[in-house]
A and B are shown apart, each in its own frame.
Chain A
Amino acid sequence: MYISLADRPHSGSGPDDAGPGPRPGPRSGSRPGRSVAFRVAPTVVALGMVSLLTDVSSESVAAVLPLYVTGALGLSMVAYGFLEGLHQGVSAVARIAAGYAADRTDRPKAIAVAGYGLSMLTRAGLLVVQGFVGIAVLVGIDRIGKGIRTAPRDAMIQEVSQPEHLARSFGVHRMLDTIGATIGPLLAFVVLLLVPEGYRVVFAVSLAAALVGVAALILFVPNVRFSRTTGTMTHTHTTTPAAPVPAAAESAPVVQARALRPRASRRPRWRTLDGPLKRLLVAAGLLGLLTVGDGFIYLAIMSHGHLDPLWFPLLFVGTNGVFLLLAIPVGRIADRTSRAAVLIGGHLFLAGAYVAAAMGGSWIALGLALVMLGIFYAATDGVLAALAGQLSPQGRTATGIGAAQTVVAVTRLLASTGFGALWVLFGAVPTMVGAAVVLVVVLPLAWWLVVRR
């Protein structure tokens, strides 16, 4: 099942291409292109730690914000719901724009710092702001920050990782990211347990985590430059992230290297999205339309009425646990076989999760649903970014990744809305089974779009 997409089209095979720490070395494997031992790039680990801290920061706030708005501020959630739709749209636009900007300026780290920094500032704002309007604005700015940082960050991961082990490197990042997302809400509830009504203490913890995260980003993530030139010979060590350079002190060699690159090739165009990347976007959008939020799957399990609703808020821990355990192994499988195949095939587990959720409210069904949902995320989240980066034309990685993630985010939002309608009309179980069936029917089409050549 060797698939042509498994290799990065524009990457050379010379020794200088392999990036930082991961130096190509002899390996027992005999298949061509598989002979490089996996070594995770320090930059990937650094970005993973930054994401971990940032997720602790954002998820802890997300967990208590509704309580804070109603409990401490005495406001109605009805008012709070108003801005949500707007936020979603702005975030999607910010995401693709930031990807474009990262490619255009060739300064993904600076853009990422801007995104992480913006979100960090909103944490500080939460400590100061009293009224509802202020909070709504801060939540909006936070979303924009999240939109800004994602694509440049993933493009950096792509740039510094060994092309042979791209999905696995993304797996490392997603594992750390998910650890943060799991710790965040639990930490927030622990803080509230220690300090009753200590919402602002949660915000302080969140600010501290964000601050350390941004510091780690500035200190330990180098000024990654995208390798733009086509020939393998022109790669210099300056295009690799081996040297972490603080943003403020840009060193001379980097500047030189940039000057050498032809200007014209640094300008991303919408043509970026042509070719295999376009097919990936279509497939991702198609599957996104059949991907409903986790909330629905949990609700379907709960709708059978056999489980105590008190468990509901903790279900995400189970899914995240599976996701973080499998992110690296599944990435490894994707690298060894075909990223595209794993991405598409991963959706079989989503269909499985739908069926399990429809099965009944037993602990077995619950466990199956959570495990399969976790596998689905492990097989799709990082792998999509890896694949999008790999399929993007040279120097347009961030744009390509940003586009793919925007497509997925927007189509999933549409899916959730439409799914809600079907849920009301037909009930939980028929809708879940129906979604699973349609998903399985559509998978061959997605396969044909992305995997088959």
Chain B
Amino acid sequence: MKPVKPAHERAGRRSGLSRRARWWVLAGVAAVSLGAVGVYGVQALEDHQERTTGTSAAELALSLPEGPHVTFRNTASGEGYGMVASVALADPGGARQVSGQACDRVDVAGEYLSCLRTLRGVPTTFETQVYDSGQELGGSPVATWPLAGIPSRTRVSDDGLVATTAFVTGHSYAADSFSTETTVKGVDGLDGGPDGRDYGNLQDFGITVDGEPLTTIDRNVWGVTFAGGDRFFATVASGGTTWLMEGDLEARTMASVATDAECPSVSPDGNRVAFKVRRDSGGDLVGGSGVHWDVAVLDLASGERTVIELERGIDDQLEWLDEDTLLYGLPREDAGWDADVYSLEVEAGAEPELFIEHAWSPSVVR
């Protein structure tokens, strides 16, 4: 659409450039800009193809490792980028078997593998897909449902309960802010009832802080971890405070256990909970630099908290490798699309060690 020309011709005469010249300048700017975008786009497409095809940066294996293994999202460039992969627990640095499932976040428990993924399209959408995890080539889909926003966390329980956390943009109270949506669903059809179990959005649960109901509007829930049966833990946030909450799915309640705890993860023996804790680096107003998370472990019986201060903060839901060791993913500083999984001993002053290269969202399958 072209601006309508004025009826008179005074314009051209009074300024440095004639009307025609101005159109030429504009056309030139447009042509150069679009040309540059085209070149840039083609380059980006080539980069992406390079990253997702060709020889993998990691050593690949053909078959699923025997015995206990770690399943994760493979972020090694080349063939199998973004796919679910597994390595033997005994040899995490060894060859990885890559499945055909593309997932942003993945978790495995019992017979189920929960996978959160992004579906490109107009507009971009997101979904949860659950597979049975007898997967040589990735297992077959058991259930699929839409995810409300950008994949953030997922956990699946032995008996087929799937928890998902998504970042929802544009839904929330102020136009530009965001919220999280955390839901728990059973894998439909396989667990009795014709409708399966659907506990909906955990934000609607009866939430209490030290016995008092929490009814504030800005409450957000994220990072569910199952603790057996109907019991679970999750983070609830409101007004800048976060709480570790213990919940009951059947009763639809959550009650505070401790403050300042995000993305909990219950230890294999169920006695401890690991989570990330925010460290305030001195009121740095310019956002992100003020957000630094360390790791902490809470002994549920004694209430004793062990904080492990990290040089590079984390932003992941921790996974227990065994009773003394945690795993977490860390994006690479030079390439955010790649990440590594680190292990961390549960003791103050412990230093993280590289556990699996080119990996994200680890899940231990014992």
Contacts and interface: CB of A to CB of B under 8 A. Distances in A.
A67 interface: yes
Interface string B139-155: 00000001010101000
B286 A195 contact: no
Given A295-B170, A419-B173, A76 B152 contact: yes
Contacts of B123: 63, 185-186, 189, 313-314
A193 B178 contact: no
B17 A219 contact: yes
Interface stretch (A210-218, A264-272, A273-281): A210-218
A221 B48 CA distance: 41
A193 B121 contact: yes
A97 interface: no
Contact of B15 (A77, A198, A251, A424): A251
A442 interface: no
B1 A49 contact: yes
A26 interface: no
Nearest to B286: A133
B312 interface: no
Interface string B146-190: 101010100000000000000101111111111010000000000
A23 interface: yes
A21 B10 contact: no
Interface centre among A64, A195, A294 (most CB of B within 10 A): A195
Interface residues of B, number: 70
A198 B4 contact: no
Contacts of A194: 41, 45
A80 B168 CA distance: 12
Given A198-B44, A198-B45, A79 B288 contact: yes
Given A74-B331, A246-B15, A295-B170, A189 B45 contact: no
A366 interface: no
Contact of A195 (B33, B48, B360): B48
Contacts of B25: 215, 219
A195 B6 contact: no
Contacts of A79: 287-288, 291, 315
B115 interface: no
Interface in A365-406: none
A310 B152 CA distance: 18
A417 interface: yes
A82 interface: yes
A245 B25 CA distance: 14
A445 interface: no
A192 B174 contact: no
A204 B150 contact: no
Nearest to B240: A82
Contact of B26 (A84, A176, A190, A215): A215
A40 B4 contact: yes
B339 A77 contact: no
A308 B146 contact: yes
A448 B42 CA distance: 59
Contact of B167 (A45, A66, A209): A66
A136 B336 CA distance: 16
Given A189-B123, A242-B8, A313-B170, A82 B287 contact: yes
A46 B3 contact: yes
B14 A251 contact: yes
Interface residues of A, number: 96
B215 A49 contact: no
Given A88-B176, A216-B26, A136 B150 contact: no
A77 B176 CA distance: 12
A66 B34 contact: no
B302 interface: no
B215 A425 contact: yes
A75 interface: yes
A92 to B, nearest CB: 13
A205 interface: yes
A444 interface: no
A242 B11 contact: yes
A296 B6 CA distance: 43
A421 interface: yes
B286 A208 contact: no
A299 B48 CA distance: 36
Given A198-B41, A200-B44, A420-B218, A72 B336 contact: yes
Given A133-B289, A208-B37, A84 B176 contact: yes
Contacts of B300: none
Interface in B1-39: 1, 3-8, 10-11, 14-17, 19, 22, 25-26, 29-30, 33-34, 36-37
B338 to A, nearest CB: 9
Given A40-B4, A77-B169, A136-B286, 12 more contacts: A42-B5, A66-B178, A71-B118, A74-B360, A75-B288, A77-B180, A193-B120, A196-B52, A198-B48, A242-B8, A295-B171, A295-B175
Interface of A: 20-21, 23, 39-40, 42, 45-46, 49, 62-64, 66-67, 70-88, 130-133, 136-137, 176, 185-186, 189-198, 200-201, 204-205, 207-209, 211-212, 215-216, 219-220, 222, 237, 242-246, 248-249, 251, 253, 293-296, 299, 308-310, 312-314, 413, 416-417, 419-421, 423-425
5 contacts: A81-B177, A193-B121, A195-B41, A248-B16, A312-B171
Closest 5 CB pairs of A and B: A74-B331, A132-B288, A208-B33, A420-B173, A73-B336
